[in-house]
Structure 1
Amino acid sequence: MTGYILRRLMYGVLILIGVNLFTFILFFAVNTPDDMARLAIGGQRVSAEAVEKWKVEHGYDKPLFINDQKAGLDKYTDTIFYQRSIPLLKFDFGSSDGGRDISREIGARMGPSLALALPTFVLGLIASVSFSLVLIFFRTTRLDFWGVVLCVVMLSISSLFYIIAGQWLFSKVLRLVPYSGFAGGLDMIKFLSLPVLVAIVARLGPEARFYRSLFLEEISKDYVRTARAKGLSERIVLFRHVLRNAMLPILTGTVSALPLLFMGSLISESFFGIPGLGSYTIDAIGAQDFSVVRAMVFLGSALYIVGLIMADISYTLADPRVRFE
């Protein structure tokens, strides 16, 4: 098991290097340092002197990969890629193109993102698994049929519809919660209740339909028939046997998603005005702030790799038959 984890970590480092390089190439294939300077300064009618001054101040006056004006190692170290992207491998995010410390911004915005993501994750998982178990318990009945129809309808609707409809109903019509915003303390509940509710409803359809398929496959196996033959009730069969044996695919999606909770929700945070990492990324994309974008992409990739390793480890806890040599 230890050797397996070490190999996965080594593969993860290679993936992070590739993501770092690909993000750098992709960004500068679309933008040039001159374009970034003009956007930051505020328009196309900017003098060449102002553009050059901005590039010097922000470290974009050097070549991308190879500096032919230098000799030795400086030929490769005195470049934009080495100075702006290589430090990411040490999780040194540096400063944004606007001059703000990215690590400090991540630390300040992680709290609002977790405040939204954690209840959404926990309550959404409970709601999806419970709803799918109810459908399995009443399988081949009208409740199961219309429940599946409801899941198909819900997964066919965009999450933007739920956000707009939720804001219109609960904020404009019923006036129960604010449209958007964020506050600390107990006031946080009234600002987060609607985003959490909308996120749970948006994921209920696809997740419940997926879990129902898993449980339906498990319930037709021999060990379930054996459990029923021993006189166990349907409730015990579902919760003690079917749910436990269906945990592996559920863990794949849930445990691997845990680290990504820190990244926040791009759409929800933007629509509801929550100052988390999701809205921070969206703002950076709009401002074409390469430093913030590549930092968030790199951090998301690192967290996703950690999540996959956590999912593999959790397999051995959920199913003793799974062992990694």
Structure 2
Amino acid sequence: KRYIVKRLLEMIPTTFGVLVLTFVLFHVVGGSPAEVVLGKNASSEALAAFDARHGYDRPLLAGRWSRIRALGDVPRETLARRPESGLLRLPLTYSLPAGLYRVNAGRVLIGLRESATGAADEALVDGPAPLTFAVREGWTAVTLDIEGPSAPRVRLEKGNRGLLDSQFVHYLTSLAHGDFGLSIEHRLPVAQVLREGVGPSLALTIPILAGGTLVGVMLALLCAAWRGSVTDRAVLILSTVLMSVNYVVWVLAGQFLLAFKARLFPLWGFESAAYLVLPVLIGIVSGLGRDVRFYRAAILDEVFKPYVRTAQAKGVSGARIMVRHVLRNSLIPIVTYVSLSVPFLFTGSLMLESFFGIPGLGSVSLNAIHSSDMAVVRAVVILGALLYQLVNVATDVCYAWLDPRVRLR
């Protein structure tokens, strides 16, 4: 129990590192979700409203100020000077709603409009640059005229509620409450999208893992028992051929020959168990060559151990030696090998789900990447990271259960 608690506590910094890394990478590489969803021809006001609705108008990790789309960085020499005031007019792309703002200038003339009545007003603010000003509730700032800034570019920023009022802190807070965010594509909570995809993924991947492991171990035992024979060489040659064929070829050949031509299986959909038979068979066959060669090597490492010769000297049958003694002592590398595939039981088989129209987490992840649905992509990555760590802990516990010589400390 102490070992399990220790390993679970070690997961906390690892998971936090994964959260930070994935959060930053998705924002740097993925670009602006607002522009992806609404299109690059959308107005700045629509993009700003999208950012505010989904929390993208906050700083990424931390900060008191964040950039807004109303202005961006504007070169000082491009600003037009107002003859009546001698100030430079900022080209706002939309009216500023109520809130706290900052501009790198020492004087600001704000043109205000009341939202309810449309009444106009002006406010002049002086002070050291950068200058902070506020727009009251019920009013919007429609124009901003500034005194020439000393910096080569004009920056307009919006104030946040605090230093930690950021996208990352908000995301961590939501995760602590079990909220993965809102899916932009599905207009549903991400947790609901994942729940709906887990069932089809497990229905596909569990039979592939169980069937592939069972058939692979049986063939590996057969090869190890008859090592060097024609059967052993034939299985090895067949395994090499299976490994040499690309995964996509298996999928396309299975769909064309078995589903389209022979009409033995449904080609597309997820309406009953019959729709899973062909993708499960393809999943098992495509990975069988790799599995057999690994299991055969693990079993052969035990065949030449002294305890096998002792059992043979005692007259124990070959089948009993292979199954009761050799296989049992080969289970540690086999369990390690199988454990690497367990997280994919939940995250799904992207290729099979995409080709056969199975609405699992694999196809959900692919659609989320294409539509830049970052909330879903982040949730799948975090789910995979957590599963890998939990499976590693469970695998270590299995080692101690399979081999009494293993001690967990």
Letter in 2 for 1:56: A
- Which of these residues, 281, 303, 314, is aligned with residue 219 of structure 1? 303
Q: For residues 14 and 304 of structure 1, what CA distance do their matches in structure 2 show?
A: 14
User: What percent of counterpart residues are identical?
Assistant: 39
**2:136 corresponds to 1:48:** no
Could you tell me which of 151, 155, 169 is aligned with 2:257? 169
Gaps of 5+ in 1: none
Q: Matched residues in 1 for 2:161 and 2:4: separation?
A: 36
Separation of aligned partners in 2, 1:215 and 1:127: 15
Does structure 1 residue 67 correspond to structure 2 residue 63? yes
CA distance change for structure 1 residues 105 and 243 in 2, over 3 Å: closer, same or farther?
same
- Please say which of residues 123-132 and 147-156 is displaced more in the overlay: 147-156
- Per the alignment, in what secondary structure is the counterpart of residue 213 of structure 1? helix
The answer to whether the Cα contact below 8 Å between 1:248 and 1:315 also exists between their aligned partners in 2 is yes
Q: Is the 8 A contact 1:259 1:306 kept in 2?
A: no
Classify 1:87/1:211 alpha carbon distance in 2 versus 1 (closer, same or farther; 3 Å).
Answer: same
Alignment of 1:243-322 (within 5 A): 243-255=327-339, 257-322=341-406
Once the two structures are TM-superposed, the CA of residue 317 in structure 1 deviates from its matched residue by 1.5
Indicate if the aligned counterparts of 2:205 and 2:344 stay in contact, CA closer than 8 A: no
Deviations 1:5-56 (A, max 9, x none): 12211221111111111101111111333xx212111x32222222112111
Residue 221 of structure 1 and its aligned partner are, at CA, apart by 0.9
Q: Please report how far the alpha carbon of residue 89 of structure 1 lies from its aligned counterpart in structure 2 after TM superposition.
A: 5.0
Deviation of residue 304 (structure 1)? 1.2
* 2:189 pairs with 1:133: no
Cα shift at 1:271: 1.1
Larger % of helix: which?
1
- Find out whether 1:8 has 2:10 as its counterpart: no
Contact 2:64 2:161 in 1 (8 A): no
Using the TM superposition, give the Cα deviation of residue 256 of structure 1 relative to its aligned residue in structure 2, in angstroms.
5.2
Distance change (3 Å), C-alpha of 1:4 and 1:90: farther
Deviation for aligned residue 1:77: 3.0
Distance 2:253 2:287 in 1: 15
Counterpart contact for 1:113–1:277, Cα < 8 Å: yes
**Cα offset, 1:74, TM superposition:** 4.6
Partner of 2:234: 146
Question: Distance between the aligned counterparts of 2:9 and 2:348, measured in 1?
Answer: 27
Whether contact under 8 Å (1:135, 1:143) holds in the other structure is yes
Q: Which residue of 1 aligns with 2:211?
A: 123
Contact 1:195/1:268 (<8 A) preserved: yes
Cα deviation per residue 1:153-199 (whole Å; 9 max; x = unaligned)? 2112221111111111111110111211101xxxx221000010000
Aligned to 2:78: none
- Range with bigger deviation, 44-53 or 165-174: 44-53
Q: What TM-score do the two structures reach when normalised by structure 2?
A: 0.74
* Amino acid aligned to 1:9: L
1:126-149 C-alpha deviation (Å, 9 max, x unpaired)? 011011111112211121112112
Cα contact 1:256–1:310 (8 A) shared by 2: no
Q: Do the aligned partners of 2:201 and 2:348 also contact (CA within 8 Å) in 1?
A: yes
Contact kept in structure 2, 1:88 and 1:298, CA below 8 Å: no
CA distance in 1 between counterparts of 2:369 and 2:250 reads: 24
Q: Matched residue of 1:140: which SS?
A: coil
Q: Which residue of 2 aligns with 1:37?
A: 34
Please say if residues 257 and 307 of structure 1, whose CA atoms lie closer than 8 Å, have aligned partners that are also in contact.
Answer: no
TM-score computed with the length of structure 1 as normaliser: 0.92
Which residue matches 1:81?
Answer: 168
Residue pair 2:59, 2:65 contacting (<8 A) in 1 also: no
- Whether the 8 Å CA contact 1:162–1:198 is kept in 2: the answer is yes
Q: Which residue in 2 is equivalent to 1:100?
A: 188
State the secondary structure of the residue aligned to 2:215: helix
**2-structure distance, mates of 1:89, 1:320:** 39
User: Counterpart amino acid of 2:229?
Assistant: T
Q: Compute the displacement of 1:300 (Å).
A: 0.9
One-letter code of the match for 2:329?
N
For 1:154 and 1:107, locate their aligned partners in 2 and report how far apart those are by CA, in whole Å. 34
Aligned to 2:149: none
Query: RCO greater where, 1 or 2, for CA within 8 Å and sep 6 or more?
Result: 1
Q: Determine whether 1:23 maps to 2:22.
A: yes
Which residue is equivalent to 1:242? Answer: 326
How many residue pairs were aligned? 317
Letter in structure 2 aligned against 1:94: G
Q: CA deviation at 1:86?
A: 4.7
More strand by share: 2
What is the root-mean-square deviation of aligned Cα atoms in Å?
2.0
- Contact 1:24 1:85 (C-alpha < 8 Å) held by counterparts: no
Q: CA deviation at 1:259?
A: 4.5
Give, in whole Å, the separation in 2 of the partners of 1:154 and 1:235: 27
Q: Which moved more, 1:172-181 or 1:193-202?
A: 172-181
Q: Secondary structure at the match of 1:77?
A: coil
Give the 3 Å change call, closer, same or farther, for CA 74–224 of structure 1 in structure 2: farther
Which residue in 1 is equivalent to 2:146?
none
* Stretch moving more, 82-91 or 269-278: 82-91
